[in-house]
Amino acid sequence: MIKREGIGTNNALRTYVEHISGQIKNSIESLAKSNGKMQNAKLLATGGGANNIFLIERLSEKIRELNVEVVVPDKSLVNYKEALIMALIGVLRWREEYNVLSSVTGAQRDSIGGALWLGQEA
């Protein structure tokens, strides 16, 4: 849609920031409706978006009224979280333990995902 409309880069990036922060706010509002009012709640921001200062500022502004604080952890956690998660998934696979949980994915049952190669030549 943004490409089709020929929106400039700055406006497109701003649109993405507003969309991302708005969707996160909507999710928090839905959670609050089902679990009751949140008091002194914190949202842990990790991954690439946590490095976007403007995104974090806008998100903080939008969810402040919901009594939720955005917390950006140490850079090492922000930058290497995905690598740590993938390593955990690999270890669980190696141990033949579930690494895809139905409670997270919405699947009917937990499963073990991934292929295991034991170093044989291809």
Is there a contact between 86 and 73 (Cβ–Cβ < 8 Å)?
Answer: no
The sign of the torsion formed by the CA atoms of 58, 81, 116, 111 equals negative
Residue 79 gets the label, from left (phi > 0), alpha (psi -120 to 50) or beta, of: alpha
Give yes or no: residues 2 and 18 share one domain.
yes
Same domain membership, residue 19 and residue 3: yes
pLDDT tens for 38-78 read 778 999 998 889 999 999 999 999 999 899 999 999 988 88
Task: State pTM to two decimals.
Answer: 0.68
Considering its fold, how many domains does the chain have in total?
A: 2
Whether residues 90 and 49 share a domain: the answer is: no
**Model confidence pLDDT, tens digit, residues 67-104:** 999 999 998 888 888 888 899 999 999 999 999 999 98
Residue among 2, 49, 59, 52 nearest 27 (CA): 59
- Is 63 in the same domain as 40? yes
Beta bridge partners of 70: 43
> Are residues 119 and 66 located together in one domain of the fold?
no
Which structural domain, as residue segments, surrounds residue 23?
1-73
Looking at the fold, whether 56 and 88 belong to one and the same domain comes out as no
Structure token pair of residue 53 = 């200062």
Whether 57 and 7 map to the same domain: the answer is: yes
Check whether residue 69 and residue 79 sit in a common domain.
no
Residue 31, pLDDT > 90, answer: no
Note whether 9 and 62 are same-domain residues. Answer: yes
Query: Cα(72)–Cα(54) distance, rounded to whole angstroms?
Result: 13
